[in-house]
Amino acid sequence: MAQVQRTIPLLLPADEDLRQTLAVFQAVQQQLSAPCFNGGQPLSAVALHRACYRQVKGQLNAQMTCSAIRLVAAAYQSAQSNRRPPQRPFQFRRRRALFLIGPRGRDASLRPDGTLSIWTVAGRKQLPYRVPEAFQQRLAQAKTMDSLTVLERAGQLVGRLTLTLEAPDPQPLPAAEETAGSRQVVGIDLNETNALVAVDGQERVLFVSGKAVKVRNRRTAKTRARLQRKLAARKAQHRDTRSVRRVLKRLGRKQRHRTQTFAQTVAKRLGEWAPPQAVLVFERLQLPPPQHGQIRGRALRRRLALWQRGLIRRWAEQQAQERGLRVVEVNPAYTSQLCSHCGQRGTRRRHRFTCPHCGAEEHADINAARNIRARARCTVLRGSGLLSTSPEARAAAAAGKPLA
């Protein structure tokens, strides 16, 4: 059995001592931020601990002080990993605190009587908590509890409990039975308008349209652009821009939550639709980040930034972990241009694909998903060489090339 980590929400009461603990944790992080920045050369967690532990100790317990040091160092390390090196010390404005549970620490624990035992600046307290009904089964199946992050959101205290769950191991495909194994291979094509198109070995098709989300994101982008122009005009007049900034932040949050919810829904539908012990096949797309200087064209950069491909892929991998499914990648070259029936180069016009060689005509995304599935069968799942029934093999045979 494999082990996976998942997070569930906890609804906590409005306890003033716990609020004060979050405020002190935030203050400690803010105090550590400038030394960790180190003039543009961020310190590691160990170096920051050695340099600043004596300065900040005593405000929290020892374990939470170490957690604050690690979180601050991790924030700077994450910025560097994302190719966005910090230009100035970070500002930790959100009130949140990390409490370690179980073998990792004793900052908090869930007691058998249904209360939360948690450390606060006023001492240890037992607080009632509530788990939403949708996550109660996951809590009951948890093997261990690792940490609890408590944050203040809209005046309410919310906990995020990290659990370790057991998941079934992915099962290998039968090597001797090609037909039986191919039924479990699912080719998946991720697109901008049609968010996900999947085809399995039994020619079942899962078609998820992302047009509604795309239209709403475009509408939000236009509204944000208009407000950005208004914000620039007010700044030029040295007028207060707080109201405009509030609206911009609210629109940004709504768009992020909309995209996140859509990606989670699509991934869950894929996990429920896929056959047991399936192999999910994705394209290995290497797209540069949608930043100025990396991709030319403002409109193209905006489209790539709004494309939820990465989120769908991430949540689909999480669903695969929980269900014991394998995830593989294939080379995306020509998957949208080759005919899935004869393997020859065809013509794609918007969402229609036609092949002038065999006369096949079907939806372009379904054709691409079939090519992705066939490519996984002949390269990733079968090792080197081509299956005689794959589009690449038929194309090679038509060109007079020997099969590898």
* 295: confidence class by pLDDT, cuts 50, 70, 90: low
pLDDT digit string, tens, across residues 262-291:
999 999 999 999 998 889 999 988 766 666
Domains of the chain, residue spans? 2-167
d(CA 232, CA 236): 6
Least confident range of 225-229, 312-316, 322-326, 396-400 = 396-400
Average pLDDT, the chain: 86
What is the pTM for the complete model shown? 0.78
Q: Kindly indicate the confidence band of residue 387, based on its pLDDT and cuts at 50, 70 and 90.
A: very low
In 3D space, the residue among 368, 392, 399 whose CA is nearest the CA of residue 378 turns out to be 392
- d(CA 339, CA 350) in angstroms, rounded, equals 15
| 11-13-17 Cα angle (round to 5) | 125
pLDDT at 243 over 50: yes
User: Does 388 or 80 have the greater pLDDT score?
Assistant: 80
Is the Cβ–Cβ distance between 286 and 195 less than 8 Å? no
The pLDDT of residue 23 is above 60: yes
Please compute the mean of the pLDDT values over residues 17-44 and round it to a whole number. Answer: 95
How confident is the model over 323-348, as pLDDT tens digits?
Answer: 989 999 998 888 888 998 888 888 88
Indicate if the pLDDT at residue 175 is higher than 60.
no
Helix (H, G, I), strand (E, B) or coil at 178: helix
Q: Which of 394, 384, 284, 396 is nearest to 333 (CA)?
A: 284
